[in-house]
Every structure is written in structure tokens, then in C-alpha cells.
Chains A and B, each alone.
Chain A
Amino acid sequence: MKARAVKGIVVKDLRETRRDRMAVFWIFVFPLMWVTLLGAIWGGSSPPVVVHVGAVYFNESAPFTASTLIGIMENVSVDGQRIFRITRYPDESAGLKAVKAGRVDVLLLFPQGFGENVSSGLQGKVYAYFDRSDPQKYQIASGVVKGFFSEFEREMAYRKLNITLGYVEAYLPKNLSANLSPSMLRAYMMGLIDPISLREEAVKGERPSPIKFYVTSFIGIQFLFATMLTVSNLLFEEIEKGTLRRIAASPATAWDFLVGKMLSTFIVITASILIGIGYSKAVFKETVFPGPTGWLIIALSAVFSMSLGLAIAMGTRSMKATNALVNLLSMPLLFLAAIVIPESILPRWARPIADYFPLGTAVKDLRLLEIYHRPPSEVFPDVVWIAINSLVMLLIVVLLYNWAIKRLQ
């Protein structure tokens, strides 16, 4: 390889890129707009979930009624935010209509006599109607409402237990064995009410930050979209101007040319990534700075993406076609390979793309390393996978380069 020829190509490309306003926009400004936009939307901490509840109940004169329960529900809050928004409906059909129209997530129907039964220590029945058309929404609403009732039942059970134990202690004969002592009975009855006691302790862990997530998305955009676009445009300009023929006729080899193009693009993209990382730190006070393994993944992914871009430029016959094909390929992949969205919200059919498409794997690993602080050994098999794919793509591009030169002649 001729180092001076490679250097010449790198320096020339960097100068051209610096002076091309469109390139500067796509490489530097657009990603910053992206980080700003997503950071502004998702950057703050997520508010607690709010469940819209419809309630239908009857007026009763018992000490504890459905109205009392709904009142308690209305006041449940997390971090100062009320969890339930209650809307009262006069009858079941009005309530069901509201569920079907999506105005409430669940309808709670308290039949007549609910308050009488509960106040008398009997079982009170409640009917819950959930809208199951959206499984995710249903899971959240159902979990929150059932969680509330479960807690409420437990509280009621303890209160009943205390009342019952008051009677037991007052009326239990004093000459019973130690096994039937009031304290023994209390422990036994608590076991009946609450066979397993789940104690929740708050731990201050590292929450995966949305900003950090979107910084990794930004890095993914850079090495999927920007590298592909930059390198394909740099190459196509050479084809259109006729300078590629000249370079091919010079002592520079195919490897000199391709390495030069890739290095210049990688330098531009690295600069862009560093600007994005710094920008996020300056604006949102949070960022991700990849470690050595992270940078290795970025470099390997960039080789894959650049090879793909070069292959597209060599296979098309106009700059417009090159740009169209790069956009057509990279835009859906930004989503389908879970680069700009979390993998958890991908449809099942798209999961293999995120798992096996090398750039999807790369972003996933980058997140594991830089957001969840997993050890590099955990992503090693993926790094090998990305490296193999990048090498194969690179070899394809060298073959395509020689073919393109022949075609130009």
C-alpha cells in the first residue's frame, strides 16, 4: 500500500467535505438536530402512568361504600401525581360505551349491596371491564388496577384481623395451652391473610437514561446513514468527474483508493460523533463516551457501512440513484435494526434484523457496553460477527471497484 497516495486521498476528501455545505449539514447539523429533538421530547424523567377509570356504583348508607373506595382510589398518588382519573357513569351501558370509545381504560362496576356486604365483613364483588384492543395499554391498566385492589384487600384484611383478634383476646378462655395463645393465633391468621410477605425496598440504581439511549442512536445514525451517504457521494463525484479513471491510471492501487476513501469518511464521522457527544453533554448534561471496545465496534460498523455505500455508488449510474438507494436502505434500517428506537417495541418479524444485521448488533452492543456497563467479554461474539461481515463486504467492494473501473472504460 502506498501511504502517500492514501494520505493524498484522505486530505483531498477532507478538504472537499469541509467546503461542501450540503455535506456539512447532513454530517454535522442534521444529527445535532436529531439529538436536540429527541432529547427535548424524551430527555426528562418519565411521569408515572395514569389510568383512566370509569366507575358505576349505587348510593348506599353503609359505613363503607363503593363511593368511599372510589374516593380512596382518587387520592392514590406517586411522586405527587395522581394515578387514577375517575369518571363516574350513571349506569353500566354508559360506562361500557366509554370503554369502547377509549375514553376510559377500565370500567369498575360495583353492584348494589357492595357496601352492605363489605361493611358486614362479607365479600364485596367488583366487575372490571378492560379494553383489550391495545395489549400494551391493557397490561398497564390491568396491572395498576389489580395492584391497587390487591393492596386494598390486604389493608382491609389486616383491619378485620385486628377487630377479630380484639374479640378473640376478650373472649378466649385463659386456661388454654400455649399453642392457642392470642399471639400465636395472630401469627397464624396473618399467615392466612398474607401467606407470603413481599417487602419492597427502594434501591437507587442506574436508570437507563433516555439521553444516553439517543446519543447511541445518534452514533448509529452516523455510522449507518452518514458514512454510507458520505462515502458513496465522494466516490460518485470521482466517477462523474472522470477523476476515478485518472486515479485508476495512477500508481495508486484499488486498496490505496478504497482505504483512502474509508479513512477520510471515518475521520469525518468520528469528528461528527465527537461533536454530538460533546453537544449532548453541554445541552443535556448527559452523554455516552465509548470505551475502546465501543470505538472498535464503531470502526468495524463504519467499515461495513462504508463498504455498502461504495458498493451502491459503484453499482448505480447517477448520483441521484446513489442517494436514493442509500436513503431507501438506511432509513428503514434505522428503525428495523433498532438503531433509533428500543428493540423492545419492534414487531416480532423485525427482531432478527436487529439481532443479525451487523449495524443493529453494533448499536445493541454499544448500548450494553456504554449504558448498562456490561463487560466487553459479553459482546465479544457479536464483535466477531460484525468483523466477519465487514471483511466480507470489503472484499466484495474491492471486486466491485475493479469491475467499475472496467465499466468506466
Chain B
Amino acid sequence: MRAIEVRGLRKSYGNFIALNGINLDVDEGEVFALLGPNGAGKTTLIRILAEGLSYDSGEIRVFGESLSKKTARLIGYAPQESLAYDDLTVRENLEFYADLYDVPGKRVDELIERFKLPAKKKAKELSGGFKKRLNLAVALLYDPRVLVLDEPSTGLDVPSKRELWELIKEFREEGKTVLLATHYMEEAEALADRVAIMNEGQVIAVGTPEELKRLAGNESVIHVEGILRGTEAILREFRAIERENVLRVSVEDARKALPKVVEALVEGGSEIRSIRIEEPSLEDVFLKLTGRGLE
């Protein structure tokens, strides 16, 4: 069964078109990722689904029913920002939302236990990881069938990120549908059954991570790490992304391209730490489809 169906969804803010005719199907029980850079329209789409943000045209169905206050109860939403009131304890925050959604008080205890939350700690004293957990607990208060997560791992350190991913995997095992928006391709690859790549208010590709990677064709990626200088020539000649101390160059024939890449870097004065040939990632697919990186 389709958990979410979106047809021809358009939303604009003045002259800025945030969503330009989105079509999307999310199946029940799958983890579906919206992958795209900031400003691609992911949060707008999510807020329409979860917060009732108005839209210009299009149709949205949740488990076959048109989106309304009634269907909102089927969707639990954990936004990017913390939903917690700083001066309230974890328990008090959950109690507040339980009152708002008319959820029995014992559900608060269940969620505190499940997410191992420090019940008596004030929200302002929580680490980033616990704040995200509290957001998830709020989203799950009324046991929704769909969980919508906006950039769930933004701002988290690696261990907290891993813990969060484990929780999301647990939700899938429980049969919940998870729709997550992210601009981290590794998050989409690690969690999603299917991924929709979004750019400038449009869905430009949908499929499993493997299907999407096939869009890159026979390409492979030269992954270089180190203190890199003289990358301008490579960025001009190849489809490549440079981020911090990493350069990823998409090429059709790695054996031919590799010497050219190395030569350019050495001439530029780079100190190369490692070079490897990899299969293309979702980010490389995004690069191929849009001509730019995810961040």
C-alpha cells in the first residue's frame, strides 16, 4: 500500500518556486530518503506533509486519504530544530506534547525508556544526540504510521549519528514508514530503501541506491585524499567534487584518467595521502545529473 502519494505538487514563496510539480510515491514500511542540497525543496515538501503548510496546487494522499488534520495524526514529524522547551525537563516536554495530542501518560514513560532519555534533565542540558532523540520521542508519541524526519543527523557527532541510524532501522523493522530528508548521501545510502534525488524544487531521479548508482553508467570515481593544490585544472577537465581534503573525480576509464589527475595534483604541489578507485556514490550520481555537488 502507498503510505504517501504526491502528485503535481507546487509551492512558491512570492517569485521563488520551492516545489515545481513534485510527483512521489512512498510505500508502506519502507525508508524513503529525499536527497538533495540545501534549498532543493525537501523541507518545504516535508512541512506540507507534516505541518499542514499550504501549497499552491497538486494532490497529496496519506494511506489513500487526502491530506487533512485527520491524516496528520498518521504522521509523526521530527524537524531539524529542537522541539523541546529549554527550561522544561525531558519528561515535562513529553508530558506537554502528550497533553496536546491527548496521548495517555504511560506512553511518556514508554518513550523515555525506549530512547533511554534522562527524564529529569532540562532540555537545555541535553547533548545534540539526546535532543534529536527527544524530537523522535515527540514524533512517536501518538504512534504514527509514518515517521517524517528532517535532516535527522545534522549537527551530530559520529557515535550519536550511528545510534540514531540504528533507531531509524528499528522503526523500519517495526513496520513504520520513514520519510527522511537529508543532504548527506552516506545517510541516504545507509538507511534508505529508496531515494528521491531533489534539485531546485523537482524530483530528478527516484530508485533504490543501487538503481540510482547505475545512472552513473560505467563510470568509476577516483577518490583522492591529502593536502590538495592545483585542483582547478582537474575541476575544469573532469566532472569532479572537491570538499575539504577530498577530491572525487568521475571518469569513464579510470586507468587512462588516473595519471592525468595525479600529474595535475603533483604539479600543483599537492601532498597526496591516498588514492583509490571506487564505485560511484549517490553524490556522484547527483553530480552527473545536476553538474554540482550536494553541499
Contact = CB atoms under 8 A, between A and B. Distances in A.
Co-assembled chains A and B: yes
Interface of A: 2, 4-5, 7-9, 11-12, 15-16, 19-20, 241-243, 245-252, 406, 409
Contact of B102 (A5, A16, A19, A245): A5
A5 B99 contact: yes
Interface string B93-112: 00111111110000000000
Interface of B: 47, 50-54, 69, 72-73, 77, 79, 81, 83, 85, 87-88, 92, 95-102
Given A8-B96, A16-B88, A20-B87, A251 B53 contact: no
B119 to A, nearest CB: 14
Given A12-B96, A242-B79, A406-B54, A250 B101 contact: yes
A314 B166 CA distance: 41
Contact of A409 (B54, B87, B98, B101): B54
Given A242-B79, A246-B51, A249-B51, A8 B100 contact: yes
A129 to B, nearest CB: 67
Contact of A252 (B47, B50, B73, B100): B100
A4 B52 contact: no
Nearest to A250: B100
A16 B97 CA distance: 15
A251 B96 contact: no
Contact of B83 (A7, A11, A243, A251): A243
Contact of A4 (B54, B69, B88, B99): B99
Given A246-B51, A249-B50, A249-B52, A16 B99 contact: no
Interface of A (DSSP majority class): helix
B53 A409 contact: yes
Nearest to A5: B100
Given A2-B102, A249-B72, A251-B69, A8 B95 contact: yes
Given A246-B51, A249-B52, A12 B101 contact: no
Contacts of B50: 249
A12 B102 contact: no
Contacts of B87: 15-16, 19-20
A406 B55 CA distance: 11
A329 B87 CA distance: 29
Contacts of B53: 409
Contacts of A241: 81, 85
Given A16-B85, A250-B101, A11 B96 contact: yes
Nearest to A406: B54
B101 A243 contact: no
A12 to B, nearest CB: 4
The 3 closest A-B pairs by CB, nearest first: A8-B99, A19-B87, A12-B96
B78 to A, nearest CB: 11
Given A251-B102, A409-B51, 13 more contacts: A5-B100, A8-B96, A8-B97, A8-B100, A11-B96, A241-B81, A243-B85, A246-B83, A248-B52, A249-B51, A406-B54, A409-B47, A409-B54
Contacts of B47: 245, 409
B63 to A, nearest CB: 18
A372 B99 CA distance: 46
B92 A12 contact: yes
A289 to B, nearest CB: 33
A267 B79 CA distance: 32
A20 B85 CA distance: 12
A247 B92 contact: no
Contact of A7 (B72, B77, B97, B99): B99
Contacts of A9: 96, 99-100
A16 B69 CA distance: 28
A405 to B, nearest CB: 9
Contacts of B88: 12, 15-16
Contacts of A252: 100
Contacts of B95: 8, 11
Contact of A245 (B51, B54, B92, B100): B51
B149 to A, nearest CB: 15
A241 to B, nearest CB: 7
17 contacts: A5-B99, A8-B95, A8-B96, A8-B99, A8-B100, A11-B95, A11-B99, A12-B85, A12-B92, A12-B96, A242-B79, A242-B81, A243-B85, A246-B77, A248-B52, A249-B52, A249-B72
Contacts of A249: 50-52, 72, 77
Given A12-B85, A15-B88, A16-B88, A251 B100 contact: yes
A12 B94 CA distance: 10
Contacts of A19: 87
